[in-house]
Amino acid sequence: MVSGSMMFAGCDNRGTLRMSTNAAFMPFEYKVGNEFRGIDIDLAYKIAEKLNMKLEIIDMDFDGVINSVSQGQADVALAGLTVNDTRRQHVDFSDTYFKASQYLIVKNDDTRFDNCETVEDVIQKINELGSNAKFGFQSGTTGQYFAEGDEDWGFDGFPNAAKVGYANGATAVNDLTLRDTINIVVIDEMPAKSLVAANSEKIKLIDIPLTDEEYAIAVNKNKPDLLNKINDALREIIEEGILDEIIEKYYTEIEFDQE
C-alpha cells in the first residue's frame, strides 16, 4: 500500500476528512508526479471545503479501499466505486454522483466485434469465442465481476474464457498491446476512453455499454452524521453546477501518460 496526503491550507483547528482511493483510475483519480488529480479528487476537495475540513488522501490498492473505510482507516472513499449490495454490507453510500458502464477495449486489428450492435450481441460473441476470449481487468472492479460472473452483481460471467487480473487498467492495456496474454480489456467507460485516446494507434473501444452502474462515496457505517453532511454538500455541488464543470474539465483537459 502506498500512502500520500494532500491537505487544504488553512486553520489548523479544522477537522480532517480522510479519503482512501486508488490513484490509477484515470480520469477519476491519478497522479502527475506527487500531485493527485481527477474527478474524484476535485470532488473530494469541494466536499471538504463545504464541510470546512482539511482533506487527507490515502492512496492504496483498489482491493483495500472499501476495507479501509469499514475498518476506520479512512472516513470515506472516492475511487470510482460502483454501488452494490455486497459493498453496502461493509459501508454506507452517499447519493449517486456519476452513472457509468463497462466497455471493452481490443486491438485495432481485432474485427470479432465489428458486427455487434447490442450488449446481447457482445455477450453472445464472447460466449462463442470460448477460450479464445482472454479477459484482462483491474482486480476488484466491476470489470472482474463481469468477466468472472457474480450472483450478487447479477453477472453470468464467461466460464470458458481466460481471465487475468491487473493492478490497474493501464497495465492490462499494456499487456493487450505487447503480449498474447489477453485480447480483451473490460473497464469502466471513462477510463476506457482515456486509455484508448492515449493509445489510439494500437487499441480501440467497442462502443457498446455493457452494464448500468452508479458511482457514490463510501462512508464509514459508524459516521451517519458525516454521511448526511456529505450528501448535503454533494447536493449543493451538483445544484451549483460544480460537478458538471469538474467532469467536463477531465473530459477535455485530461493529461495522458504516454509511457
Q: What is the mean pLDDT of residues 12-40?
A: 92
Domain that holds residue 22: 16-99+214-252
- 84 & 158 share domain: no
- 94 & 106 share domain: no
Q: Which of 7-11, 18-22, 183-187, 243-247 has the lowest mean pLDDT?
A: 7-11
pLDDT at 259: 33
- 31 & 91 share domain: yes
Question: Which range has highest mean pLDDT (6-10, 35-39, 250-254)?
Answer: 35-39
Q: What is the mean pLDDT of residues 87-91?
A: 95
- Whether residue 188 is predicted with pLDDT greater than 60 in this model: the reply is yes
- Whether residue 255 is predicted with pLDDT greater than 90 in this model: the reply is no
The b-or-e profile of 207-237 (16+ CB within 10 A means b, else e) is ebbbbebebbbbbbeebeebbebbbebbeeb
Q: Which CATH number does the domain housing residue 126 bear?
A: 3.40.190.10
- 225 & 155 share domain: no
- 30 & 88 share domain: yes
Q: Is residue 190 part of a domain?
A: yes
pLDDT at 13: 66
- Whether residue 6 is predicted with pLDDT greater than 80 in this model: the reply is no
Between 4 and 101, where is the model more confident? Answer: 101
- Whether residue 162 is predicted with pLDDT greater than 80 in this model: the reply is yes
Peptide bond into 27 cis (omega under 30): yes
Q: Which of 57-71, 124-138, 140-154, 201-215 has the lowest mean pLDDT?
A: 140-154
- Whether residue 253 is predicted with pLDDT greater than 80 in this model: the reply is no
pLDDT at 10: 40
- 162 & 187 share domain: yes
- Whether residue 116 is predicted with pLDDT greater than 90 in this model: the reply is yes
pLDDT at 11: 41
Domain count, the chain: 2
pLDDT at 217: 98
Calculate the average pLDDT of the chain. 91
- Residue 257: which pLDDT band, with cuts at 50, 70 and 90? very low
pLDDT at 254: 45
